[in-house]
Structure 1
Amino acid sequence: MEPERKLSAEAGSVFQEGIGLVLSRWSALQLAVENEWGGRDSRRKAEQLVADIFSWFNHSTEPLYIDDLEDMLNEAMLSLNTMTEDGSIEEVAEKLMIMHEECLNCNFKSIESLREANQRRVALPHVREVANDDDEDSDEDNDNIDHSRGNDDSSNMMVDIPEAHLNLNPVDVSSNESKPKPSAEAEDGWEVVGPRKHRGKRN
């Protein structure tokens, strides 16, 4: 029987970073953390999940089954009072299993891509935030000089708001007309995260 392969020290460090990057892009988890659906220590629970997943991959003496990983992710979401019904748990588990296999082969390309995408995504709100502040200042300065330019600036600011909202939570914007409150809170206090993708199947 072939011995269980283990990650090297370098691969383990990169893989742990990769787990954090995947979870940082998981909309349902980030919504639960940002809104503190699991209480004040919601962020700590999310950070602990990264450590738990890494430990499961790296220290398990049993064969690794994706069903077990999905159960772990589901339990973590339940601890955040969040029920996911959007198929994202299976999607995240699949990404992590593939990423672990890549790291065993010292292939870090997907993690590098995630790292670059994450840096671009994090930088965007800061750029937009500074631009908005500048717009407000220039509005005040230009009020007596050029009213038409001030109007342009303020209309640009109004456009920024739904765009930023769209990036954070596509469900809310796309289903506003039919469902005023897509993340409706159920009677028992649970937050239900509905399907994210309405058009076609994922590739």
Structure 2
Amino acid sequence: MGAGGRTFDTAHVLSATWHEKHVRPIADDDSFLRRGIGELLSRWGGLQMAVKNQWGGHDSLKKSQELAHHLYLLFSQSNAVVTVEEIENLLHESLLLSFNTEIEDGSIEEVAEQLMILHEEHLIGIH
């Protein structure tokens, strides 16, 4: 990673306690999909470390909320076919561009898979 960048390669499972006290990924919407995305991202240690340490600047929290909203919009498009690779790319790009952080612990792939499962459950629930 270039000068000033961060590479994250440690255990990615952190307590969601800090996040639960300080972060509301998507406000005022109780839909299954929105809540699920928010909960998954709140348990993602790499993202939460970036937010807590403000690796994306003073608006790091807002950037994590925007990621959650972007995922929601992607999944809620009625005619969209979403692949796990697209989600992995979105997560990787978001961390790199928004937080100047690369995560190399396998958690991007893990979170992407969990998001795909959530998306599939959402699709089953609406049909």
Does 2:61 align with 1:38?
Answer: no
Task: Select which of 94, 115, 132 maps to 2:113.
Answer: 94
Distance 1:30 1:77 in 2: 11
Distance 1:60 1:89 in 2: 25
SS at match of 1:106: helix
Percent pairwise identity: 48
Match in the other structure for 1:120: none
- Structure 1 residue 62: Cα displacement: 3.8
- Structure 1 residue 60: Cα displacement: 6.2
Q: TM-score of the superposition, structure 1-length normalised?
A: 0.45
Q: How does 1:1-203 map to 2 (within 5 A)?
A: 13-59=31-77, 61-78=79-96, 79-106=98-125
| Amino acid in the other structure paired with 1:89 | I
Q: Which of these two proteins has the greater Rg computed from alpha carbons? A: 1
Query: What are the ranges of 5 or more consecutive residues in structure 2 without an aligned counterpart?
Result: 1-29
| Amino acid in the other structure paired with 1:92 | V
| Amino acid in the other structure paired with 2:113 | E
Distance 2:125 2:80 in 1: 22
| Amino acid in the other structure paired with 2:107 | S
What is the root-mean-square deviation in Å for CA atoms of aligned residues?
Answer: 1.7
Query: Aligned residues, how many?
Result: 96
Q: TM-score of the superposition, structure 2-length normalised?
A: 0.71
Query: Residue 74 of structure 2 contacts residue 80 of structure 2 at CA under 8 Å; is this kept in 1?
Result: no
Deviations 1:64-96 (A, max 9, x none): 111111111111111111110000000000001
Label 1:94 to 1:29 Cα distance change in 2 as closer, same or farther (>3 A). Answer: same
Match in the other structure for 1:112: none
SS at match of 1:83: strand
| Amino acid in the other structure paired with 1:42 | S
- Structure showing greater relative contact order (alpha-carbon pairs closer than 8 Å, 6 or more residues apart): 2
| Amino acid in the other structure paired with 1:40 | H
SS at match of 2:109: helix
